Every structure is written in C-alpha cells, then in structure tokens.
Amino acid sequence: MPFCKFASLRNGMNLIIDVGNSFVKLAVFEKDKMLIRHKVQSKDVLKTLRLLRKEYKNLQKAIISSVGKLRQTDVAYVEKYFETIVLNSETKLPFENLYSTPKTLGIDRIALVSASVEQFPDKNVLIIDAGTCITFDFITKENHYLGGAISPGIRMRYKALHNFTANLPLLETEIPKNSIGNSTANSMHSGVVQGVLLEIEGAIQKYKLKYPDLTVILTGGDTNFLSKQLKSSIFANSNFLLEGLNYLLQFNTH
C-alpha cells in the first residue's frame, strides 16, 4: 500500500501558495506546467482553496511560502487535505547556502534561487525580484548561493517621498517622459523610476565585471513595467518564484 500511495503522489498535481506582503498567489502545477494562477487578498484565500480543490480533483501536494501572514484556518485547511510542506530555513535545498545568516534568508529568495538551479543549471545567475522590495540574489555555476542585496521597491519609494515630506503628493507609478523632470510630479517619476532602473543596470554591470557570463532573471510584480525599459539582456519571468516553489515541493517529496 505505501508504494501505491507514493506512486499516486508523484502523478498528482501540486498546489503552490505564495503569501507576499501585499497579496497571496495560489497556483496549480501539473509536473512543471502551471495550469492556473490566482492573486487574491488574504481574506479570500480559503474561498479560493475550496474552488481549486473542487476544480482540480488530483491536487495532492502543497507548499506554503509566507513572508506575509496566512491565517491559521487557511494553513489548517491545506494541511488537512494535502501533503504539505511549509517552507522554512530547515527545508532541504537544491543548492549550497553560503549566506552567513541562513536562518534569516527570506523564503521568497530561497524559492527564486531554487528556480534558477532547475532552469539554469551550471550558470552564474543573478535573480532580481522587483516587488514590494527589490532583492538581488546570486548563485554561482558551482551551485553556491552567495547572497545579494535588498532595497526599497518602486511603490515603497513613492510612498516614502509622500510619507516623509510635508508637501510631496502620493503618485501612481508612471514612466517618466524625460529624465529631467520639469515639474514636481515629473521630477518624482524621474527620481523613482530612473533611480530603480539605474540601480538595476548598475548592479548587473558590477556583477558582470567578475562574472562576464552572467545570466540575469527579472521577476516580481514590476517585471513587465521594468523589463521594457532595461537595456541589459535579461530573462523576464513574472512566475519565477511560483516555479521555484513547485520545484522545491518536488525536490522534497520525490
């Protein structure tokens, strides 16, 4: 009987739950193919879980990655119906983690690096995740994760300008019409957006000085907005984190 059970699990579908700072993403994978993805608020997670379980009868395994907060009732539901992994610093990884404080490494960053191991093996890879924060993560072709950087994301920069000054407005994200802003609003757009682009371009060039064969991945909520404006050669993939979580689930249950 145990053999039959595990054989069934290998043939089943995977439920991926990524709890971010702003939203929760839920995805269903069949092997390496993503079938569906939902982006919901935390209050709608349980309703979405029930719908997915009803629609995809072969859902059997799940992984939860949480940098935000997931209600305990939601976690209990997942653990009741699926073979579940809650990603943490003790989870077995497909790479050697050389971060000096491994227990503090964000689980979202762990998932991103795992995706690069699966999709770009034997490569020097820089993963740039442009979301609430902008994270840079670097793994060598020898499969050694060295670390990276963390800085404020686009929306955080707009909010900081508004919240920590007396008169600057809170603006929606917009591509600046000119790098020289001719109004307060245009100056803010130039400062935020051009600042992020120059930061990313500068980081890529700095890594390339030491690793000329660098592979660069851009992912996260601002992927589409930024990828059109970057001059460096990159692979843009907004689902990279979900794909990494799916790989980690397979890696830990096979």
The binding site consists of 18-25, 99, 106-109, 129, 132, 184
Which of the residues 108, 122, 213, 222 is marked catalytic? 108
Residue 72 neighbours by CB under 8 Å, 6+ apart: none
DSSP letter at 191 equals I
220: left (phi over 0), alpha (psi -120 to 50) or beta: left
Active site residue 44: no
How many angstroms separate the CA atoms of 11 and 41, rounded? 30
Binding-site residue positions for ATP: 18-25, 132
Token pair belonging to 146: 């060295």
How many angstroms separate the CA atoms of 220 and 121, rounded? 21
* CA angle, 2 then 5 then 8, to 5°: 150
Helical H segments across 26-151, by residue range: 45-55, 72-81, 107-119
Which helix (H) or strand (E) segment holds residue 149: the answer is: strand 144-152
Binding-site residue positions for substrate: 99, 106-109, 184
CB 35: neighbour CB atoms within 10 A?
Answer: 13
Task: Classify 123 as helix, strand or coil.
Answer: coil
Do the beta carbons of residue 154 and residue 173 sit within 8 Å?
Answer: yes
Binding-site residue positions for K(+): 129
Which helix (H) or strand (E) segment holds residue 244: the answer is: helix 240-253
Q: Give the residue numbers marked as catalytic.
A: 108
